[in-house]
């Protein structure tokens, strides 16, 4: 169903933390120079993992300087709050502040009651060391854990504010508090689909008149002492050790699995007239979206159907014709099954187009950032439209008959619009349609 409104929703600022840097300039330079962010993992032990490699956001240290230029009040508040933020939440808050700076928005420059936040995330996992001392206090003489002692001997050793460091609604909460944003506020926890669905909710909220401006963002990780183990137990991981930069290769015949990554992204969305009134620089316009979860009766995800659904919904809600879509920014996970299903969905959706739609996938440069992937990918496609050049799929060297896509080539035109697609392993897909502003 399309949004019945004359209110147009535009993008006026972006912020990222990624394995390719923490600015749109560093991101674009890496994409343009075909530079991978994948390397040997440094932040976690890989002794018990099937891979030593991943894509870490190494520029992000959690220092207050990572949050961009701030007035003294916000700088003091954020610095104080860092102790109750895990890394994912810190990244999420940082990209929101960076997006506000990029948009030229400062407190006092917007209607607090008409400005809000919609944020996506994974379920955020605690670090094991949060419980180390408590667990030690509950061991018997043989080193076995005695659960009945936990309430009295273990729990008091856990910091009282422990839970606040990991609640997935905290990025949106922190951002609202630091920036006095009292408008609509929501958090979406649908793994890789979260980012596009956060943008979709923010878009519809503004379009129906419930807000004038919303920060839409997402943060996630697959680089984590526990999360990484969860991923390798559930999904195929890229193997090989000769050259880690070659591991992520979406749609290529020789792909072997996904690459672990971490990152976050945010975009500032504003109602068009609100943005014009303050002389904002408009980077693009959100025009449509799609959401679909599909499983069979046994709960097995039907990836192809879900992606086909969101592509068609995005076309319908945006009003774009098949030939008006400049490119598809694919989920491009780099696994055999997911890539084949996504390629089939793209082919089926665009079968009647006069020429094959170009397909790109930024995960080939930085792996799977979890919920953080979608916004970073949106920013990458926005930059491609801005520069008039679509970045190719990195490491796409040999076509796979099971993946009949028109892989973007170096120097290809990005067109004036794109659809970004992401899907979770559980079959929840989300997509967003964005076009150049005119």
In tens, the pLDDT along 292-335 reads 999 999 999 999 999 999 999 999 999 999 999 999 999 999 99
Examine the domain organization and report whether 219 and 265 are in the same domain. Answer: yes
Mean pLDDT of the chain: 96
Examine the domain organization and report whether 142 and 261 are in the same domain. Answer: no
Examine the domain organization and report whether 117 and 266 are in the same domain. Answer: yes
Q: Is residue 7 part of a domain?
A: no
Decide if pLDDT at 145 tops 80: yes
Between these two residues, 330 and 106, which has the higher pLDDT value? 330
Q: Is residue 5 part of a domain?
A: no
Q: Which of 163, 189, 219 delimits the end of a domain?
A: 163
124-149: average pLDDT? 95
pLDDT for 1: 40
Residues contacting residue 13 through CB under 8 Å, at least 6 positions apart: 99, 100, 101, 102, 103, 104, 105, 267, 268, 283
Examine the domain organization and report whether 312 and 388 are in the same domain. Answer: yes
- Reading the block at residue 326, the tokens are 């400049």
Examine the domain organization and report whether 218 and 243 are in the same domain. Answer: yes
**pLDDT grade, residue 241 (50/70/90)?**
confident
Examine the domain organization and report whether 153 and 233 are in the same domain. Answer: no
Residues in the chain: 438
| Rounded-to-integer distance, Cα 67 and Cα 69, Å | 7
194: part of which helix (H) or strand (E)?
A: helix 194-207
| Rounded-to-integer distance, Cα 354 and Cα 146, Å | 67
Examine the domain organization and report whether 195 and 83 are in the same domain. Answer: yes
Q: Is residue 8 part of a domain?
A: no
Q: What is the CATH number of the domain that holds 308?
A: 3.40.47.10
Residues of the chain with pLDDT > 90: what percent?
A: 96
Examine the domain organization and report whether 270 and 153 are in the same domain. Answer: no
Query: 37-61: per-residue pLDDT in tens?
Result: 999 999 999 998 999 999 999 999 9
Examine the domain organization and report whether 226 and 309 are in the same domain. Answer: yes
Are residues 347 and 405 in contact, defined by beta-carbon separation less than 8 angstroms? yes
Q: Is residue 3 part of a domain?
A: no
Range of the domain at 25: 15-125+166-435
Query: 45-103: per-residue pLDDT in tens?
Result: 999 899 999 999 999 999 999 999 999 999 999 999 999 999 999 999 999 999 999 99
Ramachandran class of 434: left when φ > 0, alpha when ψ lies in -120 to 50, beta otherwise: beta
Q: Is residue 4 part of a domain?
A: no
| Rounded-to-integer distance, Cα 320 and Cα 57, Å | 35
Q: Which of 117, 137, 163 delimits the end of a domain?
A: 163
> In 10 A of CB 141, how many CB atoms?
5
Measured CA angle at 175 (ends 174, 177), to 5 deg: 65
**pLDDT grade, residue 107 (50/70/90)?**
confident
| Rounded-to-integer distance, Cα 333 and Cα 328, Å | 14
Are residues 42 and 23 in contact, defined by beta-carbon separation less than 8 angstroms? no
pLDDT for 4: 55
Decide if pLDDT at 356 tops 80: yes
Examine the domain organization and report whether 353 and 333 are in the same domain. Answer: yes
279-292: average pLDDT? 98
| Rounded-to-integer distance, Cα 215 and Cα 213, Å | 7
pLDDT for 2: 47
- Reading the block at residue 337, the tokens are 């099954």
Examine the domain organization and report whether 216 and 132 are in the same domain. Answer: no
Hunting for tokens 């995800």 — which residue is that? 301
Query: 361-384: per-residue pLDDT in tens?
Result: 999 999 999 999 999 999 999 999
Q: Please spell the DSSP secondary structure of 277-292, one letter per residue.
A: HTTPPP-EEEEEEEEE
Q: Is the pTM of this model over 0.85?
A: yes
Are residues 278 and 300 in contact, defined by beta-carbon separation less than 8 angstroms? no
Number of domains in the chain: 2
Examine the domain organization and report whether 148 and 252 are in the same domain. Answer: no
Q: Is residue 300 part of a domain?
A: yes
pLDDT for 48: 87
Q: Which residues of 210-231 are buried (b: 16+ CB within 10 A; e: fewer)?
A: ebbbbbbbbbbbbbbbebbeeb
Q: Is residue 232 part of a domain?
A: yes
Q: Please spell the DSSP secondary structure of 341-353, one letter per residue.
A: HHHHHHHHHTTTS
- Reading the block at residue 159, the tokens are 């910091």
| Rounded-to-integer distance, Cα 194 and Cα 136, Å | 37
392-413: average pLDDT? 96
Query: 7-37: per-residue pLDDT in tens?
Result: 999 999 999 999 999 999 999 999 999 999 9
């Amino acid at each position: 169903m399309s949004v019945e409104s004359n209110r147009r929703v535009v993008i006026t600022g972006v912020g990222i933390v990624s394995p390719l840097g923490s600015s749109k300039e560093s991101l674009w330079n890496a994409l343009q120079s075909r530079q991978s962010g994948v390397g040997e993992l440094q932040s976690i032990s890989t002794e018990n993992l099937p891979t030593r490699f991943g894509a870490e956001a190494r520029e992000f240290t959690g220092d207050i300087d990572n949050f961009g230029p701030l007035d003294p009040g916000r700088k003091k508040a954020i610095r104080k709050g860092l102790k109750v933020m895990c890394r994912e939440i810190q990244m999420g808050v940082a990209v929101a502040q960076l997006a506000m700076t990029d948009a030229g928005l400062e407190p006092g420059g917007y209607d607090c009651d008409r400005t809000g936040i919609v944020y996506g995330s994974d379920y955020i996992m605690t670090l094991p060391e949060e419980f180390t001392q408590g667990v030690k206090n509950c061991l018997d003489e043989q080193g076995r854990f005695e659960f009945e002692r936990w309430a009295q001997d273990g729990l008091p050793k856990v910091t009282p504010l422990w839970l606040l460091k990991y609640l997935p609604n905290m990025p949106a909460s922190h951002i609202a508090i630091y920036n006095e944003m009292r408008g609509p506020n929501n958090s979406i926890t649908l793994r890789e689909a979260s980012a596009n669905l956060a943008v979709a909710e923010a878009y519809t909220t503004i379009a129906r008149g419930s807000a004038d401006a919303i920060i839409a963002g997402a943060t996630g990780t697959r680089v984590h002492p526990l999360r990484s183990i969860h991923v390798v137990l559930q999904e195929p991981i890229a193997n090989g050790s000769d050259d880690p930069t070659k591991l992520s290769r979406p749609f290529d015949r020789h792909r072997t699995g996904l690459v672990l990554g971490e990152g976050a992204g945010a975009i500032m969305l504003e109602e068009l007239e609100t943005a014009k009134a303050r002389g904002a620089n408009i980077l693009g316009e959100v025009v449509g979206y799609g959401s679909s979860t599909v499983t069979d009766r046994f709960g097995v995800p039907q990836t192809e159907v879900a992606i086909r659904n969101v592509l068609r919904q995005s076309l319908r809600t945006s009003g774009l014709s098949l030939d008006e879509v400049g490119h598809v920014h694919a989920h491009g996970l780099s696994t055999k099954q997911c890539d084949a299903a996504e390629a089939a969905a793209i082919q089926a959706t665009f079968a009647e187009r006069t020429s094959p739609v170009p397909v790109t996938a930024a995960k080939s440069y930085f792996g799977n950032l979890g919920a953080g992937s979608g916004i970073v990918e949106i920013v990458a496609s926005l930059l491609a439209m801005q520069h008039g050049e679509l970045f190719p799929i990195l490491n796409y060297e040999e076509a796979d008959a099971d993946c009949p896509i028109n892989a973007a080539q170096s120097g290809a035109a990005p067109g004036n619009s794109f659809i970004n697609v992401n899907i979770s392993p559980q079959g929840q897909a989300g997509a967003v349609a964005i076009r150049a502003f005119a």
